[in-house]
Amino acid sequence: MLAATLLLGPRSPPAHSLLICTFSRGTQGLSRHAARACAVRARASLSTSCISRQNAASDIRLKTLDVLGTTYTTDGWTNAPPAILAKTGRDLLHQPSHPLAILKELIFKEFPTFAHYDSLSPVVSTYQNFDSLGFAPDHPGRSKTDTYYVNQSTLLRTHTSAHQLQLLAAGSQGEHNVLVQAKNSAAAPGNERFLVAADVYRRDEIDASHYPVFHQMEGVCTFSRDEVRDKICRATTAERDSKTDGVSHSDQVAQMVDATVVGGDNPMQSAHSAEEVAFLVRNMKQAMNDMVVQILTKAVAAQQSSGEVSASGNQPQFPVRWIDAYFPFTSPSWEMEVLFQGEWLEICGCGVMKQEILNQAGMPDRIGWAFGFGLERLAMLLFGVHDIRLFWSSDSRFVGQFSPGRINSFRPFSRHPSCAKDVSFWLPAEGTFHENDIMDLVRETAGDLVEGVKLIDSFTHPKTGKGSRCYRINYCSMDRNVTNEEINGVQELVRKRMVEQLGVTLR
């Protein structure tokens, strides 16, 4: 959370400023992680409102940021805005009736012998997020246009993989202060197998399926090389191999389409033998198939009970296909897709862990696989949520529809009318404009009033060579009607801040 030393004037902040971050829940019943955040939440909201009232927000320079009770020194890399920092304490995964928390717990149950982490701080080092995973120095993910930096060496994690090396090293070195954070540390006392569920942060476009804060699930499963050698010798079938890993297996078998081969553009690592890779890949794909079958079967059962689909009397089938992929921290790598309701849905990315990561963690005698995927994408499908902003709503008409441990379809309440406003401008001469900058500016100014921002026109003047852009901003509140007068005020503030902060010339 952000706590800035800014003084509020005597005038009350405008209504649209209060929409940037509103919180109606107290600390009772929240986790310690969330309760700690509540102590600074009010200051973050006041700071955000104050900034939105400045005529020149770019003139404000904060020397420190307070995120979840820890103070950080800012520098030229700092670009995490107040509205984003205010999300760090919302703790959606610890609200038992929230769709994301329900999905998280369902996945945890599918991996009973894995350590389960869901309270790790979102603030990580640049090394953790990128270098420890083998990201190249010029990887675009490192850019300030893609990532929220607290300062040059510290950022808001962009993926749960940022904790891979940390948790593996904690296991090998017996770091009690880390291991104790697992919900069931006894299941894998050395973190040889673990799941991480957490909020992650990325600068992104604005539409119904993208949000700068979302949630991921990370899974890591390692084996000692002696254990793998023994399993290979004793195994007579792939099924027997897979049922020794502690993963909860389904009696159903996904209809798998897998024409991929290891090698070529999807190579195995020189540190692994072909037999080891074959074992890991078979084990990983079986675990992924079983997880998907279990969760989607529950979703179909929920739809049948609500009458959304008719019960056929047959067990549902879920065709799964595997596609070659590339990730800096696994090789070989794949993406998993499943056919659900007539569409191929990308579920996760996964692969054989880079051996360098295990070596750095002090586990050179172990090999393993890892997977990761976004919870929102799957939750929107399973619960029938049409707008990703709803996951952040405290409206009782949304949060009151769900119960712990149960998948049920969201019943939309009345949709409030939207209001579209266009903004046209010439790009700055120095060519520093990036689309994510305008996305962040609009979201920081209008908060969750913004339903979408879309580029509708782009051209270059034939004589001057100047570039022009026109964006359509669609405003739509999820829980109330907004007036044209109110939106005009927000739009005017957006236009003003675009000139001051982005250096554009309005048309």
pLDDT single digits (tens) 49-74: 333 333 333 334 679 999 999 999 99
Report how far residue 184's alpha carbon sits from residue 496's, in angstroms, rounded to the nearest whole number. 51
pLDDT reported for residue 341: 73
pLDDT value at 33 more than 50: no
Report how far residue 317's alpha carbon sits from residue 63's, in angstroms, rounded to the nearest whole number. 56
At CA 257, angle to CA 253 and CA 263, rounded to 5? 120
**Whole-Å CA distances, 452 to 49, 212, 400, 477:** 22, 13, 26, 11
For residue 291, give the nearest of 447, 108, 102, 485 by alpha carbon: 108
Report how far residue 303's alpha carbon sits from residue 441's, in angstroms, rounded to the nearest whole number. 39
pLDDT reported for residue 474: 94
pLDDT tens digits, one per residue of 423-437: 999 999 876 789 999
Structure-token pair, residue 237: 């079938």
Largest CA distance in the chain: 77
Three-state DSSP class for residue 31: coil
**Whole-Å CA distances, 275 to 262, 279, 329, 330, 470:** 12, 6, 20, 17, 56
Higher-confidence residue: 374 or 6? 374
Cα(first)–Cα(last) distance of the chain, in Å?
36
pLDDT value at 235 more than 90: no
pLDDT reported for residue 190: 95
Report how far residue 117's alpha carbon sits from residue 278's, in angstroms, rounded to the nearest whole number. 28
pLDDT value at 139 more than 70: yes
DSSP 499: I
Q: Which residues contact 123 (CB under 8 A, 6 or more apart)?
A: 67, 68, 70, 72, 88, 150, 154, 155, 156, 157
Supply φ then ψ for residue 70, to 5 degrees: -110, 135
pTM flag (> 0.85): no
What number of helices (H) and strands (E) belong to the chain?
15, 17
Bridge partners for 6 per DSSP: none
For residue 371, give the nearest of 334, 344, 337 by alpha carbon: 334
pLDDT-derived band at 300 (thresholds 50, 70, 90) equals: confident
Structure-token pair, residue 96: 């038992």
Bridge partners for 198 per DSSP: 216
| Helical axes 99-110 vs 274-305, angle rounded to 10° | 130
Please state the rounded mean pLDDT for residues 191-204.
97
pLDDT value at 34 more than 60: no
Q: Which residues contact 389 (CB under 8 A, 6 or more apart)?
A: 208, 211, 448, 451, 478
Inter-residue contact 505 to 499 (CB < 8 Å): yes
Please state the rounded mean pLDDT for residues 411-425.
87
pLDDT reported for residue 309: 56
Report how far residue 442's alpha carbon sits from residue 62's, in angstroms, rounded to the nearest whole number. 21
Q: Is the dihedral of CA 304, 307, 310, 311 positive or negative?
A: positive
pLDDT reported for residue 93: 97
Q: Is the dihedral of CA 222, 227, 228, 232 positive or negative?
A: negative
Q: How many CB atoms lie within 10 A of CB 312?
A: 9
Residue spans of alpha helices (H) in 306-354: none
Please state the rounded mean pLDDT for residues 87-93.
95
pLDDT value at 96 more than 80: yes
Higher-confidence residue: 240 or 229? 229
Bridge partners for 207 per DSSP: 210
pLDDT reported for residue 254: 56
Q: What share of the chain is helix, strand, coil (3-state, %, to 5)?
A: 35, 25, 40
